[in-house]
Structure 1
Amino acid sequence: MDTLDGDELSQRIAEKLGDALAAPTIRPGCSGHHMEFPGTITIPPETLMDVIRAYCRSLDDHGFEHIVLVPTHGGNFGPVKTVAPDVAREIEATVIPLADLDEHMQLLNDGLSKAGIEYDQDVIHAGAAETAVVLAVNEDLVRVENIESGPEGEISTARLLSEGFKTITQNGVLGDPAKATAKAGETIIQNVVDTYVDHIENERRSV
């Protein structure tokens, strides 16, 4: 889901900016907190940060003036936020990290609300918001007959990332994905795109 979301957001952001290109999404990511789920592949934060440095240096060498980093996987927000200032000092291009995980999750919840779904989950993972996004991008990827809910209410992001998701959810789901609709997913995506484009344009005007 995270790569699908990253592809969709970056393409729409580039289109709305009008003078930007969407680079290939970096995969895999930092998923140590999911390793209790069979099949998970993870990389160390240092590896992700090295790859980000290489991407940014390459784009800088090709003459790009602004490089926007758009993480969509929860485990990648921290490394992106950490490495961005270092990369910015190493290259000529301006590096703009959109790496506020709390803001990102709030934008997803706000999108649900704008779509008429009053459902607010403190920590978002495979629930209503993310399922809605997948439905909007490619509904064939969602097996609605197999949807299961997960824990709801207040959940500690720090605990999830440090102790692992399976300490809280046995199926990896947080919240109720059955509330998701493709219409809500489209609203969520547009809400994130509009907000991120505003951030980017503000940064470009200030440098």
Structure 2
Amino acid sequence: MTRQTVTEIRPQVRQYGELTSLEIELAKQSDSLLILPVGACEQHGDGLPVSTDSIRAEHVATAVAEELAGRAFVIPSIDYGVSPHHGNLPGTITLDPRTFVDIVTTVAGQLSDSGFTRILVITGHGGNMAALGVAQQVLLGTHPNLTFAYSPVSALATEATAILPRTEVSGHSGESETSQMLAIDDRLVDSPRLTAGATALDDLLPRARLSRTKSPASAVTFDQYSENGVLGDPRTATATAGDDILGEIVAKLVAYSREMLRL
């Protein structure tokens, strides 16, 4: 029996998991970009869902793929991340960093072995960045012809974040993340339960305060910042600010993805 072929991919499909095997073969032949969203399942204060980082990564990845109109597809996400620093607060499920690296390199390596040459990882969880750097180095050794890039979400929105009202200490479950979630789906935010966490350096104990220095870097568990594990005051978040933040993130990733597709 002769295998069927297709000459085009259904134009509405953006998710790898919704492609047929025949369409995946065509996507490989077209040197498509694959986008892998990675997130986390971890505490996000009293008002945000524990899958906040996965939700944001998936949203951004899908928006980027939409902008690239059939040149990129979103592969099934990795919804657990490297989150031991959140483990003392309710809701957190973390992977060992070595397990996370193994999952990423296994997925990317198999896709490379099958013929794909470009993978962009979008992580909604900053705690995954170090492990993604390790994964990148592993893949350089095992799959040197694979172009493997990774990027955070919030950190790309430098302009929109600069004008966002923020407290001196800000970050996890704070003004930016909450604004993004309000823009994506405000039904997922328990707004009456939003409360401020750590907001000023002088309010932190010495070890927690030292950990806010970017270099040299140290770490503490998030319960040492505040009882609710929040950095900043999410009560000031708005969906409008979230739209601006997400728009800047998507625009930068689309521009980078276009460069990857030119390789």
The bucket for the TM-score relative to the shorter chain is: 0.7 to 0.9
CA distance in 1, matches of 2:188, 2:246: 17
Residue 119 (structure 1) shift: 2.9
Q: Which structure has greater helix proportion?
A: 1
Worse-superposed segment, 28-37 or 196-205: 196-205
CA distance in 2, matches of 1:129, 1:169: 18
Could you tell me whether the CA contact under 8 Å between 1:126 and 1:174 is conserved in 2? yes
Could you tell me whether the CA contact under 8 Å between 1:135 and 1:181 is conserved in 2? yes
* 1:21-100 correspondence runs (5 A): 21-91=73-143, 92-98=145-151
Residue 161 (structure 1) shift: 6.8
**Inter-CA distance 32–143: structure 2 relative to 1 (3 Å threshold):** same
Which aligned runs of 4 or more in structure 1 are off by greater than 4 angstroms? Answer: 120-123, 157-161
Could you tell me whether the CA contact under 8 Å between 1:2 and 1:73 is conserved in 2? yes
- Residue 192, structure 1, aligned to residue 192, structure 2: no
- Residue 118, structure 1, aligned to residue 169, structure 2: no
Worse-superposed segment, 120-129 or 44-53: 120-129
Alignment-mate amino acid for residue 61 of structure 2: S
Instruction: Please say which structure displays the higher CA radius of gyration.
Output: 2
- Residue 136, structure 1, aligned to residue 203, structure 2: no
Residue 71 (structure 1) shift: 1.4
Residue deviations 1:8-27 (CA, integer Å, cap 9, x gap): 01111111223000112112
Could you tell me whether the CA contact under 8 Å between 2:167 and 2:233 is conserved in 1? no
For residue 119 of structure 2, give the secondary structure of its aligned residue in structure 1: strand
CA distance in 2, matches of 1:134, 1:97: 22
Match of 1:107 in 2: 156
TM-score (ref. length: structure 2): 0.68
Worse-superposed segment, 57-66 or 15-24: 57-66
The gaps in structure 2 that reach 5 residues or longer are 1-51, 202-208
Aligned length in residues = 200
- Residue 16, structure 1, aligned to residue 67, structure 2: yes
Alignment-mate amino acid for residue 183 of structure 1: T
Worse-superposed segment, 9-18 or 84-93: 84-93
The gaps in structure 1 that reach 5 residues or longer are none
CA distance in 2, matches of 1:2, 1:200: 21
